[in-house]
Structure 1
Amino acid sequence: MPYSPAPSPSLHGRGARNLPGLGVSVGLAVISTVIGGVVPLVGSAVPGIVLGVLLGIVRKPGPRLTPGITFASKFVLQLSVVILGLQLSIGEVARVGLESLPVMLGTLVVCLGAAWLFGRLLGVIGDVRTLIGVGTGICGASAVAAVAPVIGAVSADVAYAVSTIFLFNVAAVIVFPVVGHALGMSQHAFGLFAGTAVNDTSSVVAAASTYGSEAANDAVVVKLVRTLMIIPISIGLAALVARTGPTRQPAATDEQSVAGPAPARMTPRRALRLVPWFLVGFVTMALINSTGLIPTAAHPALSALSTFLIAVALSAIGLSTDIRALRRAGARPLLLGALLWITVSVTSVALQWVTGTL
């Protein structure tokens, strides 16, 4: 009997699989939006992620919900960032991006240096230290995913790093707006603070949206410029691995790490693929808005849509929280993540004060 390959899933089929999990995420987002309307200070993103985490603890989402939750936590979030671009001009994007460079580059250098120092002091060495440092300094789980094949990291080390970074992403969404109000930060200053000191794009957008729409716009620009740093960092790590070879140190547990995959060779095509599609989409939307094609009257509706999509994505991220993975990570990676989180936050505020942007 001749072999015939199974047909690839249709767009309709993928959509049907996404509906259950996406529906739960949207439902939580509606509730969180109502809470945000009653208590404007917390916004809709914080209640969304808290409700998602609590629901996930009570009843972990099953396989039927997983595809839609993954879709909401990734694509819906990225779509919200693209829509934010429709509210900015390309001139504003360039201005905020250039103004953020001293603080952004300063926090990145301090973070990588602190990761090396604190990692050695805590005994978190090898790939775990590298992944947590890069994830904290650039763009969270996205940076970890991009760097892991470059250095040949094993899956266990990737899991430790992602779990550690995720914990402090959630903490940042709750803590950062409180810190911003306590310090009397302006919308611009808080956008720069969140954009340089929070890890994942989702948490940057959530924390800044809670603070205000202007803060969210600035934070997204800063964050997307910061995300581009993943390219030179990946190229630098690839060169280092090529010269010294991959480091196979034990993960930050009592068990030995098994040999990981061979490091991936960095090519121009691979470097180009590190640029996220939603960054290109954001800049494209800002260019379209700069032409005047988007009426000013439409901006409030676009802002509301983007805010709701952020709530949907954060609710999904809360639902997908793996508490057991956080426990498996152990104390030392979590302590390293905490020290880096505090160091980057303090450095961001200090550099803003030095440069006069605070």
Structure 2
Amino acid sequence: MERSTPEPRTSSARSIPSFLVPAAGLACVAIPHVSPALALAAGVALALSTGNPYAATTRALARRLLPVSVVALGGAMDLRVVAHVGARGVGYTFVSIAACLALGALLARAAHVEARTAALISVGTAICGGSAIAAVAPVVGADEHETSIALGAVFLLNSAALLVFPLVGHAAGLAEPAFGLWAALGIHDTSSVVGATLAYGPQALAVGTTVKLARALWIVPVTLAIGLVARRARGGGAASAARPPWFILGFVAVAALATFLPALRPAGLLAAEAGRRALVLTLFLVGLGLSRQALRSVGAGALAMAVALWLAVATATLAAVRTGLVHL
């Protein structure tokens, strides 16, 4: 006689994350005092404890919400400041990206990390995390496993940065503009830059967002350059075209309306506040994307390389900001 599986217990266990995930997401949006760091931590805690039964849905929603949130934040920005920051930092941005890619290559050799995985980690650290990795992966011919390793390493460090950077910033006595500049240069993803600076203060948020978005524009030329090198290494063949970060154009458009049409400024500020709440929800959804399988997929060598590269970049940029070598 066959034994049947006790259905009530299985059904009850599955209903826990099925209820908690949407309830926690709603709380992140509805409760004003839920910080980006708390939302991220809540998502990670749920993912690693009860699991995420809506993994495919939450991943897709996070990808859609992030650009929308960034575009909405443009309503509180002054486009003249954005243009000034972007133009002033061209020289340092070029040098820092080149130095990060070179250091990444050296660390990859020391940690015995596969070349394509190392390239993805390096470009993600140098420019803007997951967006840069997604753009470069098809160009270098990275497979799904290599891309997952790079994204997993960057995700772990983004989560750490969101919590650690504000603590270090306060301990170092950084003013809000200085912290915003450091966060934009030392944190991988736009979402974590906005989350960390949002927790630090409004001036930090304004500076961090503008600097990071200006830096994200370098995805296109860097990806094209890497594609050219990869094509030559393969002896020809068409390299995939870089995917432009279109949401930046939306951010600039909204910022332009709020800057040059004063009557739209109040609406822009409302849109920016909605963007901040949407970003909190985005970080909760990002946290839900961390699974035990993702943690296991990031090998010790790749993680060691990613951590060493990130610490080097964060330390160097903090020193540059504090000494005035890099400033607005």
**Considering the TM-score relative to the shorter chain, is it more than 0.5?**
yes
- State the partner residue of 1:129: 118
Q: Deviations over 1:279-319 (max 9, x none)?
A: 01000011101123445555654443222111100011111
Among 101, 108, 119, the residue aligned to 1:119: 108
1 CA distance for matches of 2:311 and 2:72? 31
The alignment partner of 2:188 has SS state of coil
Task: State the Cα distance separating 1:195 from its structure 2 match.
Answer: 0.9
2 CA distance for matches of 1:297 and 1:233? 37
TM-score, reference length from structure 2: 0.87
- State the partner residue of 2:287: 318
1:328-339 matches, within 5 Å, as: 328-339=297-308
Go from structure 1 to structure 2 and tell me whether the alpha carbon gap of 1:58 and 1:263 turns closer, same or farther (over 3 Å shift). farther
Q: Deviations over 1:307-347 (max 9, x none)?
A: 21111000111111123222221211110010011011112
1:138-149 matches, within 5 Å, as: 138-149=127-138
Contact 1:136–1:341 (8 Å) recurs in 2 = yes
2 CA distance for matches of 1:294 and 1:25? 37
Task: State the Cα distance separating 1:79 from its structure 2 match.
Answer: 1.3
- State the partner residue of 2:25: 26
Contact 1:28–1:315 (8 Å) recurs in 2 = no
**Amino acid in structure 2 at the alignment position of 1:357:** H
Contact 2:184–2:193 (8 Å) recurs in 1 = yes
**Amino acid in structure 2 at the alignment position of 1:26:** G
- State the partner residue of 1:287: 256
TM-score, reference length from structure 1: 0.80
2 CA distance for matches of 1:228 and 1:84? 17
1:300-319 matches, within 5 Å, as: 301-319=270-288
Contact 1:150–1:265 (8 Å) recurs in 2 = yes
Task: State the Cα distance separating 1:70 from its structure 2 match.
Answer: 2.3
Task: State the Cα distance separating 1:158 from its structure 2 match.
Answer: 0.8
1 CA distance for matches of 2:310 and 2:52? 29
2 CA distance for matches of 1:88 and 1:198? 21
Among 200, 210, 227, the residue aligned to 2:189: 200
2 CA distance for matches of 1:28 and 1:263? 50
Go from structure 1 to structure 2 and tell me whether the alpha carbon gap of 1:188 and 1:53 turns closer, same or farther (over 3 Å shift). same
Q: Which runs of 4+ in 1 moved over 6 A?
A: none
1 CA distance for matches of 2:150 and 2:113? 11
Contact 1:152–1:264 (8 Å) recurs in 2 = no
Percent identity over the alignment is: 32
- State the partner residue of 1:15: none
The alignment partner of 2:89 has SS state of helix
2 CA distance for matches of 1:199 and 1:145? 13
Among 231, 234, 241, the residue aligned to 2:230: 241
Aligned-residue RMSD, C-alpha? 2.5
Q: Deviations over 1:227-278 (max 9, x none)?
A: 11111211111111222228xxxxxxxxxxxxxxx97524xxx34xx22221
- State the partner residue of 2:59: 70
1 CA distance for matches of 2:324 and 2:94? 14
Contact 1:150–1:264 (8 Å) recurs in 2 = no
Contact 2:74–2:268 (8 Å) recurs in 1 = no
Task: State the Cα distance separating 1:103 from its structure 2 match.
Answer: 3.9
Task: State the Cα distance separating 1:98 from its structure 2 match.
Answer: 2.4
Go from structure 1 to structure 2 and tell me whether the alpha carbon gap of 1:183 and 1:219 turns closer, same or farther (over 3 Å shift). same
Contact 2:79–2:255 (8 Å) recurs in 1 = yes
Q: Do residues 51 (structure 1) and 25 (structure 2) align?
A: no
- State the partner residue of 1:40: none
1 CA distance for matches of 2:301 and 2:60? 32
Contact 2:258–2:268 (8 Å) recurs in 1 = no
Contact 2:231–2:238 (8 Å) recurs in 1 = no
Go from structure 1 to structure 2 and tell me whether the alpha carbon gap of 1:336 and 1:73 turns closer, same or farther (over 3 Å shift). same
**Amino acid in structure 2 at the alignment position of 1:241:** A
Go from structure 1 to structure 2 and tell me whether the alpha carbon gap of 1:104 and 1:309 turns closer, same or farther (over 3 Å shift). same
2 CA distance for matches of 1:98 and 1:55? 42
Task: State the Cα distance separating 1:166 from its structure 2 match.
Answer: 0.6
Q: Do residues 60 (structure 1) and 51 (structure 2) align?
A: yes
Among 68, 76, 98, the residue aligned to 1:109: 98
The alignment partner of 2:205 has SS state of helix
The alignment partner of 1:109 has SS state of helix
Q: Do residues 171 (structure 1) and 141 (structure 2) align?
A: no
1 CA distance for matches of 2:20 and 2:239? 37
Go from structure 1 to structure 2 and tell me whether the alpha carbon gap of 1:105 and 1:178 turns closer, same or farther (over 3 Å shift). farther
- State the partner residue of 2:7: none
**Amino acid in structure 1 at the alignment position of 2:239:** R
- State the partner residue of 2:244: 275
2 CA distance for matches of 1:263 and 1:200? 31
**Amino acid in structure 1 at the alignment position of 2:36:** A
Task: State the Cα distance separating 1:173 from its structure 2 match.
Answer: 0.2
Go from structure 1 to structure 2 and tell me whether the alpha carbon gap of 1:205 and 1:99 turns closer, same or farther (over 3 Å shift). same
2 CA distance for matches of 1:22 and 1:301? 27
Task: State the Cα distance separating 1:348 from its structure 2 match.
Answer: 1.2
- State the partner residue of 2:68: 79
